[in-house]
Each structure stands twice: as C-alpha cells, then as structure tokens.
Structure 1
Amino acid sequence: MEEKEGDIVKRGDEEGMKMAIGLLEEFGLPMGLLPLADVIEVGFVRSTGYMWIVQKNKVEHNFKMISKLVSYDTEITGYIDQMRIKNLKGVKAKELMLWPPVNEIVVDDPPTGKIHFKSIVGVTNTLLVDAFAAGQ
C-alpha cells in the first residue's frame, strides 16, 4: 500500500480488484457494480471520497438479470460516499441505440432493494440492486 497525501493506491489486477470491491462493500454498494478486468491501478482519497480505476481495456458487461449492457472505460473516476457514487465518469449504459454516460449511482437508504442510475442527459433508471450482486 502506497500513501500520498491520504491517497491509497493499489497497483495490479488482484490488489486493485480487492480494493475496488472493498470500497463498494464499505460504502454499501452492490459488489458486482464494477465488473473490471486487467486492473492497472485503483486509487482512493478518503478525505474527499475521490476514487479512480485504471484498467487495460474497455470492458462491456451484460447484466443478465436486467438485460442491460454497460460499458466501462479504461479510466473510471468519481466520488464515492455512503450508498452513492457521484460525478461518475467512464461508465455508459446502453439505452436503445444510445450510450448515455452514467453520472450518478444511488442505492435507496433505507434499503428498498432499488438502485438508481442517473445520466447527465436526464435519463434515470431504477433497477433491482440484486441485478448487480457479485457474479451477475
């Protein structure tokens, strides 16, 4: 673990994945929300909630339970907080023929089993949290 001004940085696929999943778990987000591959680096600044993930290639993942195709760029950034990620960059969800960027992800608190995905173009999708469980 390397720390720079409160930053925690993990390098390599195994350590990076562990940290990314650990952050999702710590902040009450579904463990399968970030299906990453070939992670190069994951970083987190606890004082601000800023996190970043760098992976070798863009990943497209189909969440089978909800038939939703999601694209994860080589660099994903955002601010993680309890039950939410805001100012998210690098994640897009296919809507019909378009790929609007997902800007915010919020899990209902208290839990209702629902998770909300908001895009900067005003599209909001409410889905079941279970669709993003680990292994989905």
Structure 2
Amino acid sequence: MALVSEEIKARSEMYHGDEMGQIKSKELLKEVGLPNGLLPLKDIEECGYDRESGFVWLIQKKSSTHKFHKVGKLVSYAPEVTATVEFGKIKKLTGVKVKELMVWLQLNEICLNDPPSGKITFKAPSGLFRTFPVSAFEIEEKEAEKGKLEVKEAGGAVEVKEV
C-alpha cells in the first residue's frame, strides 16, 4: 500500500471486503462513464475513492489475470491497482498490464474516444496504444447479478437464497 497515504485514506470513501469492493468498483466506473467490466478483480480486500482528487485504489489478496474474450486480450492486475479518474478517463494507472504478443506492457491511461464512436483506448507509457469497442468491456446486468445472495428475515428466521 505504498501509494495510499493515511492522509488520502482519511478524506476518502473506503469499503472493505470483496462483495462491497465489487459493487463499489462497478458503481465508480459507471459514475465516470466507463464500462463496468474494466476492473474484474478477485478477492478485493479494500477499495477507496478520494472524490476531491479523483484518486482511486483497489487492493486484492493477490495478483489476478483476466481474459477479455471479445478482444482476445489477457490482462494482469497487481495486488494494488491505483489511478486518478475523471469523466471518461482513467489516468496515472498503476498495477495493470496487458499481454501484447509475448510481452507484458504496463498500462497508464484508459480513455473514451468521442462518445458516439463507442470506442475506448488503452495507452502504455511507451506511447503504444490500442482502441477497442466499449461493448467488449461491459458486463450485462443479468451477468453482474448472477451469484448474488438475497437475505430475508422474518419472525426470527433468516432465509438466504441465490438471486
């Protein structure tokens, strides 16, 4: 947690646990106009958002990889992912790499192109970039809801069922 200072944490919204981390990371992406499937992290321990500066961090138990099947790209997420967000853009991104041919490239920026185009661009510090359809990084609402639990309490009994 080298990049997240106590000063930043003190003025940020913070959430703990995988379930809240999944919900809040998707809400944040939606809030800044980005596709909700950009951060498919696993076992999130903590996430935070400093609205004043736009600084965001997500901490997961260990590194994870995810294949975005619609574009055929393998992406690696470090245990700590940080960025600064603004509408339609993620800047100063750390902890995210994409595999191009046989080389892992660090990503440092993600931005929407002209909104009507439906395209999103991923940039590396070296100047390399790739543009893909935004739809390749969207999670359908029904898919996002799969596996959620509903808890009902009635007369002292608790019923839990998968929705």
Structure-2-length-normalised TM-score: 0.78
> C-alpha distance in 2, partners of 1:122/1:99?
14
Matched, 1:29 2:34: yes
Equivalent runs, 1:54-65 vs 2, <5 Å: 54-65=59-70
Partner residue of 1:11? 16
In structure 1, runs of 5+ residues without a counterpart are: none
State the structure with bigger RCO (CA 8 A, min sep 6), 1 or 2.
Answer: 1
Match of 1:91, SS state, is strand
Equivalent runs, 1:29-48 vs 2, <5 Å: 29-48=34-53
User: What is the CA-CA distance between 1:122 and the residue it aligns to?
Assistant: 1.3
1:118 counterpart (123, 135, 139): 123
The one-letter amino acid paired with 1:80 is: V
CA RMSD of aligned residues (A): 1.6
Between structure 1 and structure 2, the one with the greater Rg is 2
Deviations 1:53-112 (A, max 9, x none): 000111111111110001111100000110010000000010111111000000124331
1:83 and 1:109 in contact (8 A); partners too: no
In structure 2, runs of 5+ residues without a counterpart are: 1-7, 144-163
> C-alpha distance in 2, partners of 1:27/1:103?
17
- Structure 1's consecutive aligned runs of 4 or more residues displaced over 2 angstroms after TM superposition are 3-6
User: What is the CA-CA distance between 1:17 and the residue it aligns to?
Assistant: 1.1
Structure-1-length-normalised TM-score: 0.93
